[in-house]
Every structure is written in C-alpha cells, then in structure tokens.
Amino acid sequence: MTVLTIPDILSAQGGFLNPGPSRYGIAGVWGKTFDPVTDIHFFQIAGVAFWDYDPIWRDWAPESMKFKIEGSAGTAYAPKNRIMASLSMLAHYELDFLAGARLTPYIEGGLGVAYTDFQVTDPEPPGETQGSRFNFNPLIGIGLEFNGKSGDSFFATVRLSHISNGDLNSENRGVNAVVFLVGRFFGKHR
C-alpha cells in the first residue's frame, strides 16, 4: 500500500495532479511604436492562461505569483496593414498589499517570440534596419484587475515592449512600443 501512495505524493509535490491552467482570459491589445519610428499602430487579440508559479518552476513562490502564457495575433494597421503574432511567458505578481475589495494591482514581466510582417529602418544615420521578421520580445507591464459585483473579472494593463533579433542578424535595430491590453478573465481568482 505504501508503494502505491508514494507516486501520488511525489506527483502532488511536483504539481502533476492538477497540470491545467487555473484561469483563462481574452484581451484586445492596442499598441504604438515610439522608437525608432512613431508611425506604426497595431491591434491584436490575445488569449492568456495562468498557472500557479511554484509547481511549474518547481521552486517556492508567493501565492500571489502566477505563471502566464499569452498568445496574440493581429495586424499593424498604420502606415500599412501587416500581420503580427507573438507567444510570451510572463511572471505575473499581484500586489496584494495594495489590493482592495474589488481592485487588485499587479506587475508582470517576461519574454516571448514575435513575428512582424514589417521591418523598420532607423531614420538616424547609419540607418540600421530591424534585420529579421522573427524576433525576441521582452516586455514589462503594470495593470489592474477589477472584480465586478456579479463575480466577473476584467483587467487593464499597460506595457513596454521591445522586439529585436538578439544580434542573430547583423542588422538588429530594435523596435520599442507602448502596449495597452483590456480584457476579461474566466475562472475563479485564486
């Protein structure tokens, strides 16, 4: 009997008994570049999924720390229509000490990969180009979750986003943008 229970205990400690996401969400994403050019605007739809942080990374983490996977797809619509898509993983930390009955602020940061069907050229000499359509995408943000009286949860986030190819191409002019997300969570908070 002891032999049969040891795998269950080990699986529970490793987080394997409940491997699925604890929460989901969907968001509209709007962004605008500010460096090296300021004329690219984009809109995407994003899907997010949350897991408790410590079972995924097998390390202790506070209960308010979550692991988040986010996928988005959409278009850059100014100055030309171009396809954009990204997949990111983030650490999402709720600032419980600032939370109220219905509002919870949070910070998040992470890294992803992005495809942009455009490449920018720095208008300043020597005119370095972006160099690649496939790029790394570090990002950092701050947001606020709002819990309605009916139990619905909504969120708004503002982020700084950078895309560059990490010097995998000799031309590596990064693109910086400010990004806004507004969306809704599904599933119970905590």
Q: Compute the average pLDDT of residues 144-164.
A: 94
**Confidence band (pLDDT; 50, 70, 90) for 19?**
low
pLDDT in tens, 54-84: 777 777 778 889 999 999 999 999 888 999 9
Model confidence, pTM: 0.84
Residue 69 lies in domain: 21-186
pLDDT at 57: 79
Residue 10 domain-assigned (yes or no): no
Residue 102 domain-assigned (yes or no): yes
Residue 4 domain-assigned (yes or no): no
Give the tokens for residue 47: 């899907």
Give a three-class secondary structure readout of the chain: CHHHHHHHHHHHHHCCCCCCCCEEEEEEEEEEEEECCCCCEEEEEEEEEEEEHHHHHCCCCCCCEEEEEEEEEEEEEECCCEEEEEEEEEEEEECHHHCCCCEEEEEEEEEEEEEECCCCECCCCCCCECCCCEEECCEEEEEEEEECCCCCEEEEEEEEEEEECCCCCCCCCCEEEEEEEEEEEECCCC
pLDDT at 119: 85
Q: Does position 4 have pLDDT exceeding 70, yes or no?
A: no
Residue 159 domain-assigned (yes or no): yes
The CATH number of whichever domain residue 151 belongs to comes to 2.40.160.20
Residue 155 domain-assigned (yes or no): yes
Query: For the chain, what is the domain count?
Result: 1
Residue 6 domain-assigned (yes or no): no
Q: Compute the average pLDDT of residues 150-163.
A: 95
Residue 8 domain-assigned (yes or no): no
**Confidence band (pLDDT; 50, 70, 90) for 9?**
very low
pLDDT at 63: 84
Residue 1 domain-assigned (yes or no): no
pLDDT in tens, 98-122: 999 899 999 999 999 999 998 888 8
**Confidence band (pLDDT; 50, 70, 90) for 50?**
very high
